[in-house]
Amino acid sequence: MKPLLILVGADKGGVGKTTTSRALLDFLARRNILARAFDTENPRGTLHRFYPNITEIIDLQEVRDQMKVLDTMQEAAVKVSVVDLKAGSMSRSLETFENIGVLDAARSGDFDMALFHVVGPSIASLDEMGEIAQYTKGISYIVARNFINETNFFEWDEKTFKKYFAGLSNAREIEIPKLNEMAYEQVDLAGVTFSDFINNRKPNGRDANYSFVLRGYVRKWISDLEAEFDKLDVVKALMTPQASAEEEASAGEDDE
């Protein structure tokens, strides 16, 4: 299996980026796909709080930390690396990756690469899509529209979104559905993964006493979100590595 580097980013904070990373790691775990994660929320590490065993806090501007992620991809037993990019650092990180040849290596097939760009309710979120278009050619670019919070307060309508989206020939689109606020808050307070919350488990694996209703809300949300992830070629490739990798490559050629 070819290594896969997944970046999850947004140039604005509070759009649900880390939630998307968490959901993605949960999704991979439930599919028995081993993944390692890098949290660039240095030094706090929100993602690290939920996945302490597989997450390392790094500073992506540090060469040493870039090496930790990139130089180990081929050798690491775990082939999927998820990098949760610090809020506001997506463009800069992509620029860095472009400059040190990471994006070119992905384009030439040394490894697979996907960017989950989480967009929130503001027009600025849409503008980001145009700003990073130069970096997304030849990689899997996924625009994740986040409905998890402020669902009713989008500054943009569907027409505006489609206009922005139409300018990106290789972009795929998914929706992060809304999760009941109280359920979200309880998972956060519990400091567990979404899967553990659903399964009523504490971080140490012992039985917990989470609300039946809130667990139900999270289960439904995860199920809806998985349906969104399942639509993506890059995810399909993980399920059937050989066939889908070729599919992805030919799709990339078509896009160009």
> Please, which residue, 40 or 186, has the CB nearer to other proteins?
186
Can you tell me the distance from the alpha carbon of 19 to that of 36, in angstroms, rounded to the nearest whole number? 16
Can you tell me the distance from the alpha carbon of 16 to that of 19, in angstroms, rounded to the nearest whole number? 5
Q: Which of residues 78-107 bind other proteins (CB under 8 A)?
A: none
Residue type, 165: F
DSSP string of 172-220? EEEEE----HHHHHHHHHHT--HHHHHTTB-TTS-B----HHHHHHHHH
Among residues 51, 154, 194, 217, the one that binds other proteins under rule CB under 8 A? 217
For other proteins, which stretch binds (CB under 8 A), given 66-74, 200-208, 212-220, 238-246?
A: 212-220
Q: Verify binding: residue 212, other proteins, rule CB under 8 A.
A: yes
Among residues 12, 220, 236, 247, the one that binds other proteins under rule CB under 8 A? 220
Can you tell me the distance from the alpha carbon of 71 to that of 12, in angstroms, rounded to the nearest whole number? 28
> Please, which residue, 131 or 185, has the CB nearer to other proteins?
185
Q: Verify binding: residue 182, other proteins, rule CB under 8 A.
A: yes
Q: Verify binding: residue 225, other proteins, rule CB under 8 A.
A: no
Query: Between the CA of residue 216 and those of 28, 111, 175, 200, 229, what are the distances in Å?
Result: 20, 37, 20, 11, 20
Among residues 91, 180, 199, 200, the one that binds other proteins under rule CB under 8 A? 180
Among residues 183, 222, 225, 234, the one that binds other proteins under rule CB under 8 A? 183
> Please, which residue, 153 or 212, has the CB nearer to other proteins?
212
> Please, which residue, 106 or 179, has the CB nearer to other proteins?
179
Only one residue has tokens 């503008």, namely 127
Residue type, 198: I
Among residues 92, 190, 211, 247, the one that binds other proteins under rule CB under 8 A? 211
Helix axes 212-230, 181-190, angle to 10 degrees: 100
For other proteins, which stretch binds (CB under 8 A), given 2-10, 59-67, 147-155, 210-218?
A: 210-218
Helix axes 123-131, 158-166, angle to 10 degrees: 10
For other proteins, which stretch binds (CB under 8 A), given 50-58, 97-105, 143-151, 181-189?
A: 181-189
Among residues 216, 227, 242, 255, the one that binds other proteins under rule CB under 8 A? 216
Percent of residues in the chain assigned helix, strand, coil, to nearest 5: 50, 15, 35
Q: Verify binding: residue 167, other proteins, rule CB under 8 A.
A: no
Residues that bind other proteins (CB under 8 A): 180-183, 211-217, 219-220
